[in-house]
Amino acid sequence: MTAAVFFGCAFIAFGPAFSLFIFTIAKDPLRVIILIAGAFFWLVSLLLSSLVWFIATKATNAQDLTLQKNLLIFGSIFSVILQEVFRFAYYRLLRKANEGLAAISEEDGPALSVREMAYVAGLGFGIMSGAFSMINTLSDSLGPGTVGMFGDSQYYFITSALMTLALTLLHTFWGVVFFEGCERKRWWVIAVVLCLHLMVFSLSLLNPFYVGSILPVYAIMLLMAVWAFFSSGGSLHNITLLWTCRKSNTETSS
Amino acid sequence: MVLESSKWVMFIVCWLFKNVSCNSVAQKIYVELNNTVPCVRLLNATHQIGCQSSISGDTGVIHVLESEADLEWPLSKGPNPPYMVLLESSLFTKSIMMKMKNASSRVAGVVVVPKTSLPEFSPHTTCPNENTGVYTETYDHNLAHCNTTVWNPRGNGLSYEEFDFPVFSLKEDNETEIIKQCYFDHNRVVNGSGLQYPLCAMQLFSHMYAVTDTATCMRRSSIDFSSFPVKVCEPLGGYNVLAFIRPYNSTAFGHKENESVVIAAARLDSRAFFLEDSAGAEGSVSGFVTLLAAAQALREATQEAPPTRNILFAFFNGEVFDYIGSSRMVYDMKNNKFVIDLDNVHSILEIGQVAVRSGTNLFLHSDPVSRRNNTVHDEVTNLVKNLQSSTAGLNFSFVETGFSQPLPPSSFQRFLRARAIPGIVLADHQTAFNNRYYESFYDNAAHLNLTYPSNLSPEEQLEFVTDTAKSLTEVATAVARALFKQAGGNNSQVNNINADPKTVTQMLYGFLVRSNNSWFQAVMAPELKDVLQPNPPWYYVGVAKLSHQANALTYLVQYLLANLTGTATNLTQSQCKKPDELPNESTYMYSYFWVQGVVPPNSTQRESFCIRTAVRLAKAVSPAFVLGDYVSKEYSTWTESQWKFIKARIFLVASRDLEMLTLGVGVAVLFTSLLVTYFVSTKADVLFSVVREPNNAAY
A67, A126, B133, B327, B424 from B136: Cα distances, Å = 76, 79, 7, 16, 19
Inter-chain touch B19–A156, beta carbons under 8 Å: no
Among A33-42, A54-63, B284-293, the range scoring the smallest mean pLDDT is A54-63
How many residues are there in chain B? 699
Task: Please tell me the distance from the alpha carbon of residue A100 to that of residue A96, in angstroms, as a whole number.
Answer: 8
A233–B681: do the CB atoms touch at under 8 Å? no
Residues of B in contact with A145 (CB under 8 A): 29-30, 201, 203, 649, 651-653
Q: What is the pLDDT of residues A202-246, one digit of tens each?
A: 999 887 788 888 999 999 999 999 999 998 887 888 888 877 876
SS3 B307: coil
What local confidence, expressed as pLDDT, does residue B698 receive? 40
Residue of A nearest to B10 (CA): A136
The pLDDT of residue B699 is 36
Question: Cα separation of A9 and A138, whole Å?
Answer: 7
Half-sphere exposure of residue B147, counting CA atoms within 13 Å on the CB side?
A: 9
B161: distance to nearest CA of chain A, Å?
A: 29
* Predicted pLDDT at B122: 94
Strand partners, A227: none
How far apart, in whole angstroms, are the C-alpha atoms of residue B387 and residue B538? Answer: 32
Q: Which residue of A has its CA nearest to B651?
A: A145
CA distance B151 to B199: 46
At residue B697, the pLDDT reads 42
Q: How many CB atoms lie within 10 A of CB A75?
A: 19
pLDDT averaged per 10 residues in sequence order, chain B, 699 residues: 50 43 76 91 94 93 91 88 91 93 92 88 93 91 90 94 94 84 83 74 94 91 74 92 93 92 95 90 94 94 88 96 96 94 94 91 93 94 93 91 88 94 95 93 90 88 92 94 91 88 94 92 91 92 85 94 93 89 87 91 88 94 94 93 92 90 94 93 80 44
Pair B698, A241: CB distance under 8 Å: no
Is the CA virtual torsion A54, A57, A62, A65 positive or negative?
Answer: negative
Q: Smallest CA–CA separation between A120 and chain B, in Å?
A: 14
Chain A nearest-CA distance from B91, in A, is: 28
The confidence score (pLDDT) of residue B350 equals: 96
Q: Assess contact for B508 and B473: CB atoms under 8 A.
A: no
CA distance B29 to chain A (A): 5
Contact by Cβ (8 Å): B622, B635: yes
Task: Produce one character per residue of B523-556: b if its CB has 16 or more CB atoms within 10 Å, e if not.
Answer: bbbeebeebbeeebbbbbbbbbeeeeebbbbbbb
In our burial notation (b when 16+ CB lie closer than 10 A, e otherwise), range B454-481 reads eeeeeeebbebebebbebbbbbbbbbbb
What is the SS3 assignment for B31?
Answer: strand
More confident: A73 or A100: A73
Helix (H, G, I), strand (E, B) or coil at B63: strand
Q: How far apart are the first and last CA of chain B?
A: 41
Name the least confident of A29-38, A105-114, B77-86: A105-114
Most A-contacting residue of B4, B178, B656, B658 (CB-CB within 10 A), to test interface: B658
Q: pLDDT > 90: what percent of chain A? A: 57
Residue B242 confidence (pLDDT):
96
| 8-state DSSP, B20 | S
Task: Specify the pLDDT at position B619.
Answer: 93
Residues with Cβ within 8 Å of A31's Cβ and at least 6 positions away in sequence, in order, are A24, A25, A112, A116, A120
Across A61-65, average pLDDT: 81
The answer to whether B278 touches B540, Cβ cutoff 8 Å, is yes
What span, in angstroms and rounded, lies between the C-alpha atoms of B61 and B202?
Answer: 6
How distant, in Å, are the alpha carbons of B143, B246, B499, B518 from that of B563? Answer: 41, 16, 15, 14
Dihedral sign, Cα of residue B640, residue B646, residue B652, residue B658: negative
Most B CBs within 10 Å: which of A123, A146, A159, as the mutation test of the B interface? A146
Instruction: Tell me the residue type at B487.
Output: A
Q: What's the pLDDT at B23?
A: 61
- Rounded CA gap, B514 and B617, in Å? 24
CB A159 within 8 A of CB A9: no
Q: What is the pLDDT of residue B48?
A: 94
CA distance A146 to chain B (A): 5
Contact A8 B201 (CB under 8 A): no
- Is B3 in contact with A135 (Cβ distance < 8 A)? yes
* Domain segments of chain A as ranges: 2-253
Closest Cα of chain A to B628: distance in Å?
43
How far apart CA B692 and CA B669 sit, in angstroms, is 36
Best B15, B19, B663 member to test A by mutation, with max A CBs in 10 Å, is B663
Q: Which residues of chain B does A7 touch, with a Cβ-Cβ cutoff of 8 Å? A: 663, 666
Three-state secondary structure call for residue B681:
helix
Nearest CA in chain A to B654: A146
In whole angstroms, what is the distance from residue B498 CA to residue B332 CA? 34
> What does B125-157 look like in DSSP terms, one character per residue?
-SSTTTTTSS--TTT-TTTGGGSS--S-TTB--
- Report yes or no: A41 and A90 within 8 Å, Cβ to Cβ: yes
The interface pTM score, or ipTM, of the predicted complex is 0.91
pLDDT tens-place string over residues A188-212: 999 999 999 999 999 998 877 888 8
Q: Residue B659: its chain A contacts at CB < 8 A?
A: 1-2, 4-5, 8
| 3 state DSSP class of B427 | strand
pLDDT at B20: 39
For chains A and B, count residue pairs whose Cβ atoms are closer than 8 Å: 174
